Each structure stands twice: as C-alpha cells, then as structure tokens.
Amino acid sequence: MDTKSKIILIFGPTASGKSYFATRLAKKINGEIINADSMQVYKEIKILNARPKTKDQKNIKHHLYGFQSVKNNFSTGKWLSLAKKKIQEIQRKKKVPILVGGTGLYFKSITNGLVKIPKVPLSVRNKIRKLQEKIGQDKFYKKLINLDPLVINKVNPNDVQRSIRAYEVKFFSKVSLINWFKKTNKYFQDKNFLKIYIDYPRQNLIKKINSRVELMFKEGAILEVKKYLKLKVKKDQSSNKIIGIAEIQKLIREECDFETTKELISIKTRQYAKRQSTWARGQMIDWQRIDPKDLKLFLKKI
C-alpha cells in the first residue's frame, strides 16, 4: 500500500490503543503524529488525558500535544488552522502526516472543511437559550422550524444544543445553518486521505477502560487534579470537561469515596466511548474499519 502521498487519519474510541498503533505505524512509514483530540491540547492535564508517553514522543515526532493552557478555550477552528500547517511542514520533510485522536469534529473539519459562521453575540445567545428554557424543547423546536424550515430532518427535535445553535444562527445572520454548511470549502481532496477507524469490541473496551482508570490513579491523577484546582480555571472553560476532574474533585472534598470515584470515572469514560462509536457509525461511513486483533496484520501489509 502506497502511503507516501497520503495523510493518514486514525480514529477510535477512548482506550482503543490508537496512539500506540499510530506510533508503530509512524516508525514503519517514516511518519510524524498530529494530535486530533480536543482534550490532549492542554498542557496541565497529562495523566487523565492519557497523553502519549515521553519515550514515544522522543522516538517519533508528536505535534499539538500539551501546548495550550487549561485557562484558555480552544476551538475546532484554531486546531484546524494549526493542523493544516503541521501537515504541510511534515510533507515538506518528505514524511507522512498521521492524525490520531477521538474528536470526531476535528476529523470532519480536516476532511470536509469548517463552516465559517459569523460569531453570534453572547447577549443574543443568552436570550435564545432563556427562551428555550422558558417554553421547553417541543415548543422551541416548532419555533425553530417556523424560523428556518430548512432544518427539518437535519436537526433532531430532541437535540437541544443543535436546536439552539440553528435558531441563533438564522436569527442573527438571517441565513440558515444548512446554507452556511453548503458554503464550506474542503482543504484537501478525498484521495489524499487514508482513513482508519479502530473498531473495538464493546466488552473488551470496557475492560481496557477499567484498567486505564486504575493506572491513572497509580500515576498520580489525584495530585494532577489538586494542581488543576489551584489554577482556579473558570467554570465555562472547555478543560473542565476532561473526564475525571469533577469526580476526583469530589473525592478531594470527601464527598465521595475512592472506589466510587473510580467507578464513576469508568462509567463516564464508557459513556464517552459509546458516543464516539455512535458518531463514527453515522459519520465515518467511508472509513476502513479495523478490529484491534488485525492491526499487526495491517502493519505488515502497509
């Protein structure tokens, strides 16, 4: 398989071994790795995010890992801009860019482009959110359809966040969210990509997640969260969504015992992995699905 001219994309649910696989692949085909996970960008959280080991990053060049402060929000648009530059840098060195992660929107932006919707003022967004909370989702969705009929069958009636987003975009810009997406330009052609989805069996993945949680505590997850709390990160920052921070915070405050904390983190991680897999089934139709047991064979053939 010719990979020299390709941009390789590796997606998989959390704990599926995609980072380990990417490192082995990079070593074989003279590649460099680019992070495609929205939480791996934060420098202060290493253990809870299961960042690639230091030795792996020394052996294979890794990009866009641990460079962003948890005090700052980081958008898909910012990631896309940086990722495109890194891809070009790697290709100029005659090496193969390998993007690896679990953030579906990052991969979608690199393959399909990113829609450039005008920024909706916070005052408008808050007004619309309050409206939704006041009248309820059923009535709000009906108002959305009256405002923007194009979103019928495009936005799920039960999807509160997307309903609010569609409403605020049409209300402010006077242009449907659907039409904004139609204006999106691709940065790369489909033929440039080799798309790999690690399709991990659910029951096996649960075992790996449980083992990962145990390892995180052995490596110092509690101390990591204590340091994070001292930074006094604002509640609306994206980094607060990192799985384990809220749960360990309760442990530190003695609102939860140790075993329960581990179980809560495992449950939340399993739920996240399920959402990743569900997203992939709907969005990654043209991706090559590989069972973990076949990864060694794939490496031999490539």
Residue 164 maps to which CATH number? 1.10.20.140
Residue 220 maps to which CATH number? 1.10.287.890
Do 25 and 64 sit in the same domain of this protein? yes
Residue 77 maps to which CATH number? 3.40.50.300
Do 35 and 169 sit in the same domain of this protein? no
Question: How would you write the chain as a 3-class SS string?
Answer: CCCCCCEEEEECCCCCCHHHHHHHHHHHHCEEEEECCCCCCECCCCCCCCCCCHHHHHHCCEECCCCECCCCCCCHHHHHHHHHHHHHHHHHCCCEEEEEECCHHHHHHHHHCCCCCCCCCHHHHHHHHHHHHHHCHHHHHHHHHHHCHHHCCCCCCCCHHHHHHHHHHHHHHCCCHHHHHHCCCCCCCHHHEEEEEECCCHHHHHHHHHHHHHHHHHHCHHHHHHHHHHCCCCCCCHHHHCCCHHHHHHHHCCCCCHHHHHHHHHHHHHHHHHHHHHHHHHHCCCCEEECHHHHHHHHHHC
Residue 213 lies in a domain: yes
* Sheet bearing 288-290, strands edge to edge: 62-63, 31-35, 96-101, 7-11, 193-198, 288-290
Residue 2 lies in a domain: no
Q: How many domains does the chain have?
A: 3
Residue 73 has a pLDDT of 87
Phi, psi for 134 (deg, rounded to 5): -70, -45
Residue 241 lies in a domain: yes
Do 46 and 193 sit in the same domain of this protein? yes
**Which residue segment(s) compose the domain that 69 sits in?**
7-115+186-200+284-301
Residue 133 has a pLDDT of 95
Do 260 and 153 sit in the same domain of this protein? no
Do 110 and 162 sit in the same domain of this protein? no
Do 176 and 211 sit in the same domain of this protein? no
Do 81 and 128 sit in the same domain of this protein? no
Residue 230 lies in a domain: yes
One digit per residue, the tens of pLDDT, for the chain of length 302 reads 667 789 999 999 999 999 999 999 999 999 999 999 999 999 999 999 999 988 888 889 999 999 999 999 899 999 999 999 999 999 999 999 999 999 999 999 999 888 888 889 999 999 999 999 999 999 999 999 999 999 998 898 988 888 999 999 999 999 999 998 888 778 898 899 999 999 989 999 999 999 999 999 999 999 999 999 999 999 889 999 999 999 999 999 999 999 999 999 999 999 999 999 999 988 899 999 999 899 888 888 88
Residue 116 has a pLDDT of 81
Do 54 and 176 sit in the same domain of this protein? no
Do 85 and 194 sit in the same domain of this protein? yes
Do 69 and 192 sit in the same domain of this protein? yes
d(CA 1, CA 37): 27
Do 107 and 193 sit in the same domain of this protein? yes
Residue 1 has a pLDDT of 61
Do 90 and 136 sit in the same domain of this protein? no
